[in-house]
Amino acid sequence: MSLTTDATVRSEENVKVTRSRRNVAWTGLGALVVVVVLALFPYLVYSGTTAIMVQALIVVTLASMWNLLAGYAGLVSVGQQAFFGLGAYFVLIPAMHGLSPFLALPIAAIGAGVAAFPLWWLVSRLRTGYFAIATWVMAAAIALFIEQIQSIGGGTGMPLPGFAGIDPTLLAAYTYWAALIVATAAIAAVYFLLRSRLGLVLTAIRDDETAARTSGVKVGLARLLVFVVAAAGCGAAGGVLAIDQLQVVPGTSGGVFSVQWTAIMAFATIIGGLGSIEGPIIGTAVYMILEQTLQSYNAWYLIILGLVAIGVALFARRGLWGLVDDRFNIRLFPTGYYLWSPGERRRRQGRQAKGAAGVAS
């Protein structure tokens, strides 16, 4: 069998390797503009709209984290609601002791991240399917455990203190900005993480775990890192939810520990595109449209979301963004490598060495 390659390196200085096709400075500028515009929203639109945006920002944070876990590290977790809920409580508890909930957000992220360590130790040796169920069991157990603690609300929940006397419109704006900061930080973290060495390591593991191991890659460590980061992200999102709802209600049906949160983040990611950073963003948009049109107290939007996700998983595995990418070969958040044969102009060709593209399976 002969393996034929395209980029035969004839002399070192002629082949260029870049991280993106076009000049990524434009994308970076674009992203900055988007963030700035979003930040101005409270001045531009009614607070009803920013409330919806807060929901979207929470979901996009969660989806980005789930994408990191499943799309890049191959970890299908059905228990992220554990960290989501823990994050909410890690904002509640300091608030009950006088700290401003906004300042408690970093605590939520760090707390959830720390909690990820012992949980990883419990589930890390399980193979994919049983890993999934085990995370689900973890979440249920944690929820049950927390519901026993009466001082933080037990089974019925607890209102979030610390906002007395703040003007509601201002509070809405603060909440929105907190959500925006968390979402932006989450996406940025994923982007830079994947562009770093870790991203390369994850791709290697995904392509061939045994080969990666024999090359010296610390597979367990890489996965642990991803698990912890994802936990922290979900925790921060949970904190934002607590601030948004002004209360923390546990409970596995409808509360912060409900598996529906995982369903939402998983389906949003899958529909938008698993394995790409752009995917969760698009998926969140789809989710919000569905949710708004069908009104969240109906179970329909989840049914439709689930059916569409199944369809996408079977027939369009890289999701909506995958379809766009296949057609136009665009990467807004490029994390792979491009090889340029000598003399090729930047704007035109460039065959992408399929780095972080595609879904592991």
Partner 1 sequence: MSTSANEAPAAQQGAPLLDVRDLIVHHGQLRALSGISLRVFPGEVYAIIGANGAGKSTLLRTIAGLHRPTEGSIVYDGKNVTGLRPEKRATAGIVMVPEGRRLFPSLTLEENLKVGATFARSGPWTIEKVIVQRIYGMLPEILSSGVTVLLVEQDVSQALRVATHLQCLLEGHSTLEGRPADVTAAQVEAAYFGMGEQAAAADGIPEGSEA
Partner 2 sequence: MGWVNAIIQGILTGGLYALFACGLSLMFGVMKVVNLAHGDLATVAAYIGIGVITVTKVPFLWSVPIVVVIMAALGYVLQRSLLQSAITRGELTTLIVTFGLSIVIENGLLQFFTANNRGIGTGSSLISSSFSIGAGLQIAWLDVVIFGLAVVVLLSLQYFLSASKYGRLIRAVADDREAAQLSGADYRHVFGICAAVAFSTVALAGIAYGMTTVVSPTTGTDTILLFAFAAVVIGGLGSLWGTLVGGIVLGVSQQIGAQINISYELLAGYIVFLAVLVVRPQGLTARRSQT
The yes or no reply on residue 306 touching partner 2 (CB under 8 A) is yes
* Sole window of 72-80, 93-101, 178-186, 340-348 interacting with partner 2 (rule: CB under 8 A): 72-80
* 16 three-class SS: strand
* Rounded CA separation 193/268 (Å): 21
DSSP codes, 263-296: HHHHHHHHHH-TTSSHHHHHHHHHHHHHHHHH-T
The 351-353 sheet, strands edge to edge: 16-18, 337-340, 351-353
Provide the residue type at 142 as one letter. I
Judged by CB under 8 A, how many residues of this single chain contact partner 1?
6
133 binds, among partner 2, partner 1, none (CB under 5 to 8 A by kind): partner 2
Q: Between residues 207 and 221, which has the closer beta carbon with respect to partner 1?
A: 207
- List the interface residues with partner 1, window 4-23 (CB under 8 A): 4-6
Bridging pattern class, strands 158-159 and 247-248? antiparallel
Per the listing, tokens 């060709």 go with 349
Task: Rule CB under 8 A: choose which of 69, 134, 225, 241 binds partner 2.
Answer: 134
Out of 3, 25, 36, 314, the only residue in the binding site for partner 1 (CB under 8 A) is 3
Give the closest residue to 334 by CA, choosing from 319, 345, 350, 348.
350
Unique residue bearing structure tokens 């996700």: 309
Q: Please tell me whether residue 298 binds partner 2 under the rule CB under 8 A.
A: yes
- Between strands 158-159 and 351-353, the pairing is unpaired
* 237 to 276: interface string for partner 2, x by CB under 8 A: ---------------xx-----xx--x--xx--x------
Q: How far is the CB of 2 from partner 1 (least distance, A)?
A: 5
Question: What is the per-residue DSSP string for 24-44?
Answer: HHHHHHHHHHHHHHHHTHHHH
Name every residue whose Cβ is closer than 8 Å to that of residue 267 and which is 6 or more positions away in sequence. Answer: 283, 287, 305, 306, 308, 309
Least Å distance, CB 264 to partner 2, is 9
* Nearer to partner 2 among residue 123 and residue 183 (C-beta): 123
Residue 129 binds what, of partner 2, partner 1, none (CB under 5 to 8 Å, by partner type)? partner 2
Q: Kindly state the DSSP code that residue 221 receives in the 8-state scheme.
A: H
Return the SS3 of 226. helix
- Partner from partner 2, partner 1, none binding residue 26, C-beta < 5-8 Å depending on class: none
- Residue 6 or 13: the one with the smaller Cβ distance to partner 1 is 6
Q: Which stretch binds partner 2 (CB under 8 A): 1-9, 141-149, 174-182, 242-250?
A: 141-149
Measured from the Cβ of residue 220, the count of other Cβ atoms closer than 10 Å reads 12
Shortest spacing between CB 67 and partner 2, in angstroms: 12
- Residues lying near partner 2 in the complex (CB under 8 A): 70, 74, 76, 78, 122-123, 125-130, 132-134, 136-137, 140-141, 144-145, 148, 210, 252-253, 259-260, 263, 266-267, 270, 298-300, 302-303, 305-307, 309-310, 313-314, 317, 359-361
- Residues lying near partner 1 in the complex (CB under 8 A): 1-6
